[in-house]
Structure 1
Amino acid sequence: MLSRVVTAAVVLAGCTTSAFAWGAAGHEIAATIAQIHLHPSVFPKMCEILNYTSTNPNEPQCHLAPVATWADKLRYKMRWSGPLHYIGAVEDHPSQTCAFPGPRGWQGKYGGNVLGAIRNVTNILEDSVYYSEAGRMNFHSDEMENEALKFLIHFMGDMHMPLHLTGRDRGGNSQKVLFSHRQTNLHSLWDGLLIAKALRSVPRKYNHPLPAPKIEYALRGTIYDSYVRMIMWEGVLGKWEHEVPGWLTCPSTTRSRSISLAFPTSLAAFWEQTLLVWNRITGGGVMDTDDDLICPYYWATPIHALNCELVWPKALDEPPYNNHTRLVNADAHQHQCGSESPANELAQVDSVGRFIGGAPGGPYLELDTPQYSGVITKQWIIEKLLAQAGIRLAGVLNYLFADIEDPEEAKLWRSGQGLRIHV
């Protein structure tokens, strides 16, 4: 029988608009979990694309966490990429109405959202692998492959933050709430505050070595070291062990596996063209992002449902909490930014896990309660979402880059179960 084996910045309410999910540490946690599940043959190809070099013989070939927030850090240079971090349906209004997408489809441009973005960057990398293996000229430059891989790592994390799957009140950025008597907004709460509290509450006992030795070098000393070990020990190879293969399941479709694109004159033009070509081919439909191996819409659907089931409290649409003035922004659909420094997350929490700050105005709904944050903690909601993001990212990367001759071994790695080989 298999032995049981086995990161985060607070988003400030007054921050300038952009599109962050999970904050820095959340993205790094998901990327670290992904790296734990990567086949060894993936690293040389992935590191070559990322242009990673190291002179330290004890350091792993490369690590995903440092590039997990790249798409957010350079957002001001890539303003066109903002809508690619989230998606919203026209009729969606949790907790009252849950539409994903509903009869009138998505808000914004067809394909210009996180689901279409995951499909697009995966296609680019898939094409590049095909060209390389076939000895043919690659239409995509090294720089484009580099950006596509970093986008994929980031977008997979974005997709697993429920409020990045609804357009209501800018993904919750305009919805003021309290958390431990501190005024914040619903998006910020899920971006960083819930993870910050989780990091504070992880017992120190979670220091057992992981089954992937190369990850130890990068993990030790991070603020999420114990947290990742807890998720792995108690979750992935604990309570969720038999669920993990289902996390990578996709319904059968007849969709084409790959789209090849001509090479435009600039990176920005390339990504714009990618969206336009995607729109012409798929028409922006619901399931057109999905195939039998990679299916972001199918994976995102139950995550979106959490907005009505738990994330968006019904009380926010009832007196007295539905009468206060909300935050205003010129772009009503833009999601808001998070901190770029994981260390900032714990700076907002005192020694017993209470958040620092007052709450003028209101009234605002307190969400650090047994009925809200208590349920999230008890049911391991955040931990499961981060684990799913990591394992699905690993599944896609293993599919793209793993060099495995044995069909059964290949099936194991691409189903998220590659760790069984090492345990």
Structure 2
Amino acid sequence: MKPLSVVLAAASVLPTALSWGAAGHEMVATIAQIHLHPSTRQKLCDILPAEANCHLAPIAAWADTVRNRYRNTAPMHYINGVDDHPPDTCEFGEHGWVNEDVNVVTAIQNFTRTVMDGKSAQDIDIPLRFLVHFVGDMHQPLHLTGRDKGGNGAMFLFEGRHRNLHSVWDGGIITKNIRELGNYTTPLPSKQIESNLLGAIFDPYVRWIVWEGIREWWKDDLESWLSCPVDGDPFPHSFHTDIPASTPAILKGYFRTASSLVLSILPGSLSALSELAYPIPTRETEGFEDQAIALHPTSLSAKGGNMTFPSCPYTWAKPIHSLNCDIAWPKEYKNNSAPLIELDTDKYLGEIGRQKTVEKLIAMAGLRLAKILNEAFAEEGQLLGNGLYFDY
């Protein structure tokens, strides 16, 4: 049995999983790899570690494996809007953010810029690994809500087993879909696709998503998936600012350190109340402060008025966040005190399947990642208008 198949088999019984699970992140990276321009692929080959064999998939889940080493990157895996409580209320920044400065939206924008501005492979390597991962995270709806810690504290049944909602979306649905997909086990008539598959257990699922989804079902949606506002990404900020923008940088650090210490020693209930009353950004990320966007920019736009920036994570994330109210959180769920709800039903999982929700999110993530990297590295004039490379 191949190592990844062991992981997927284990994931079907484990109660929790990391963001999208390794398989989800690797599928996103594989779809991106398929749509890289050859010149982009060659430049990335000079940047990626040798063990990756010039492919994005082996580094796609890396950011989850180094959380203990880079502890302060933890808030970059998610974003929590104030007053967000799906499925009853979906608020995505309209009332501010719990982690306004360091989150998955600002992380994608920061690391996109760092990858574009890097002068050497050493400059780009680690930011690239984070960027690949965080683009995947942003397309998992539970990473965009703070209710019950992104669903980690919301318990359900899935295929008869106790699972939290986050783990169902990270790996449960994907694992079930891979297991039950009955075709696409033979190669497609496309060198562009087949040459970028790794012989993984999820190869048939990727073939299906690309060949039927990207090539057929969603071909008319690609332009809207990949487009960004011409005036920059309109990331909204709290109407009550956490720390005044005029505060000297050294004092901002003191404020954050003090607030983090206070919140860490308060009882959980008091800490939660404090965070609601005074939304304070989570601890500043060590080593990445110079790459952070200004405390309260009006938009996450590129520096220089004529520069086209390849990512617009807030614009892309907003409709994904709405899935928390539309389909991810069962309407009948109140709390864990009631009998656990089974999610492997036609009403819940069947509807997710009919809408191809998970497949569409994986496709979106892969294509958007490819667009970012192509526009960062490909030579001018080598790409289609949407930033992708198509030859199938």
TM-score range, shorter chain: 0.7 to 0.9
Greater relative contact order: 1 or 2 (C-alpha under 8 angstroms, separation 6 or more)? 1
- Tell me how far apart the structure 2 counterparts of residues 11 and 304 of structure 1 sit (CA, whole Å): 27
Q: Is the 8 A contact 1:87 1:165 kept in 2?
A: yes
Kindly state the Cα deviation for residue 21 of structure 1 after the two structures are TM-superposed: 1.7
Q: Is the 8 A contact 2:226 2:386 kept in 1?
A: no
Amino acid at match of 1:208: P
Amino acid at match of 2:383: A
What's the counterpart of residue 376 of structure 1?
A: 352
Task: Kindly indicate whether residue 125 of structure 2 is the aligned counterpart of residue 125 of structure 1.
Answer: no
Amino acid at match of 1:25: A
Kindly state the Cα deviation for residue 293 of structure 1 after the two structures are TM-superposed: 3.7
- SS where residue 372 of structure 1 aligns? helix
- Tell me how far apart the structure 2 counterparts of residues 160 and 230 of structure 1 sit (CA, whole Å): 19
Amino acid at match of 2:294: N
Task: Kindly indicate whether residue 121 of structure 2 is the aligned counterpart of residue 106 of structure 1.
Answer: no
What's the counterpart of residue 252 of structure 1?
A: 230
- Tell me how far apart the structure 1 counterparts of residues 297 and 71 of structure 2 sit (CA, whole Å): 21
- Tell me how far apart the structure 1 counterparts of residues 343 and 113 of structure 2 sit (CA, whole Å): 41
Kindly state the Cα deviation for residue 241 of structure 1 after the two structures are TM-superposed: 1.1
Task: Kindly indicate whether residue 47 of structure 2 is the aligned counterpart of residue 49 of structure 1.
Answer: yes
- Tell me how far apart the structure 1 counterparts of residues 14 and 111 of structure 2 sit (CA, whole Å): 30
Q: Classify 1:209/1:113 alpha carbon distance in 2 versus 1 (closer, same or farther; 3 Å).
A: same
What's the counterpart of residue 402 of structure 1?
A: 378
2:87 to 68, 88, 95: 95
Kindly state the Cα deviation for residue 235 of structure 1 after the two structures are TM-superposed: 0.3
Deviations 1:107-165 (A, max 9, x none): 12x3200000000001111212xxxxxxxxx4xx6434110111111110000000000
Q: Classify 1:365/1:21 alpha carbon distance in 2 versus 1 (closer, same or farther; 3 Å).
A: same
- Tell me how far apart the structure 2 counterparts of residues 11 and 294 of structure 1 sit (CA, whole Å): 36
Amino acid at match of 2:200: T
Kindly state the Cα deviation for residue 11 of structure 1 after the two structures are TM-superposed: 8.3
- Tell me how far apart the structure 2 counterparts of residues 102 and 155 of structure 1 sit (CA, whole Å): 22
- Tell me how far apart the structure 2 counterparts of residues 25 and 373 of structure 1 sit (CA, whole Å): 19
1:232 to 194, 210, 214: 210
Amino acid at match of 2:56: L
- Tell me how far apart the structure 2 counterparts of residues 413 and 52 of structure 1 sit (CA, whole Å): 30
Task: Kindly indicate whether residue 167 of structure 2 is the aligned counterpart of residue 188 of structure 1.
Answer: yes
- Tell me how far apart the structure 1 counterparts of residues 362 and 13 of structure 2 sit (CA, whole Å): 18
Q: Is the 8 A contact 2:157 2:343 kept in 1?
A: yes
Q: CA RMSD in A?
A: 2.4
Kindly state the Cα deviation for residue 76 of structure 1 after the two structures are TM-superposed: 1.1
- SS where residue 304 of structure 1 aligns? helix
Q: Is the 8 A contact 1:202 1:230 kept in 2?
A: no
Q: Classify 1:125/1:292 alpha carbon distance in 2 versus 1 (closer, same or farther; 3 Å).
A: closer
Amino acid at match of 2:347: Q
What's the counterpart of residue 279 of structure 1?
A: 294
Give the total of aligned pairs: 329
- Tell me how far apart the structure 2 counterparts of residues 224 and 14 of structure 1 sit (CA, whole Å): 20
Amino acid at match of 2:148: D
Q: Classify 1:397/1:219 alpha carbon distance in 2 versus 1 (closer, same or farther; 3 Å).
A: same
Task: For 1:229-378, list aligned pairs within 5 A.
Answer: 229-253=207-231, 269-275=286-292, 278-280=293-295, 283=296, 287-288=299-300, 293-317=310-334, 322=335, 324=337, 363-378=339-354
Amino acid at match of 2:326: E
- Tell me how far apart the structure 1 counterparts of residues 166 and 51 of structure 2 sit (CA, whole Å): 36
Q: Is the 8 A contact 2:156 2:163 kept in 1?
A: yes
- Tell me how far apart the structure 1 counterparts of residues 301 and 154 of structure 2 sit (CA, whole Å): 30
Task: For 1:385-396, list aligned pairs within 5 A.
Answer: 385-396=361-372
Deviations 1:24-75 (A, max 9, x none): 0000000000000000000221111214379xxxxxx611110001101111
Q: Classify 1:205/1:216 alpha carbon distance in 2 versus 1 (closer, same or farther; 3 Å).
A: closer
- Tell me how far apart the structure 2 counterparts of residues 45 and 155 of structure 1 sit (CA, whole Å): 21
Kindly state the Cα deviation for residue 323 of structure 1 after the two structures are TM-superposed: 5.4
- Tell me how far apart the structure 2 counterparts of residues 253 and 11 of structure 1 sit (CA, whole Å): 46
- SS where residue 195 of structure 1 aligns? helix
Unaligned runs of 5+ in 2: 1-6, 235-284, 303-307
What's the counterpart of residue 132 of structure 1?
A: none
Kindly state the Cα deviation for residue 204 of structure 1 after the two structures are TM-superposed: 2.7
Deviations 1:312-352 (A, max 9, x none): 111112xxxx351xxxxxxxxxxxxxxxxxxxxxxxxxxxx
What's the counterpart of residue 340 of structure 1?
A: none
Kindly state the Cα deviation for residue 13 of structure 1 after the two structures are TM-superposed: 3.3
- SS where residue 156 of structure 2 aligns? strand
Q: Is the 8 A contact 2:156 2:342 kept in 1?
A: yes
- SS where residue 230 of structure 2 aligns? coil
- Tell me how far apart the structure 1 counterparts of residues 19 and 209 of structure 2 sit (CA, whole Å): 19
What's the counterpart of residue 197 of structure 2?
A: 219
TM-score (norm: length of structure 2): 0.78
2:148 to 151, 163, 169: 169
What's the counterpart of residue 124 of structure 2?
A: 145
Q: Is the 8 A contact 1:206 1:230 kept in 2?
A: no
Q: Is the 8 A contact 1:84 1:112 kept in 2?
A: yes
Q: Classify 1:78/1:212 alpha carbon distance in 2 versus 1 (closer, same or farther; 3 Å).
A: farther
Q: Is the 8 A contact 1:10 1:188 kept in 2?
A: no
Q: Is the 8 A contact 1:111 1:117 kept in 2?
A: no
Deviations 1:82-102 (A, max 9, x none): 000100101111011110112
What's the counterpart of residue 268 of structure 2?
A: none
Deviations 1:292-319 (A, max 9, x none): 64210000011000000010111112xx
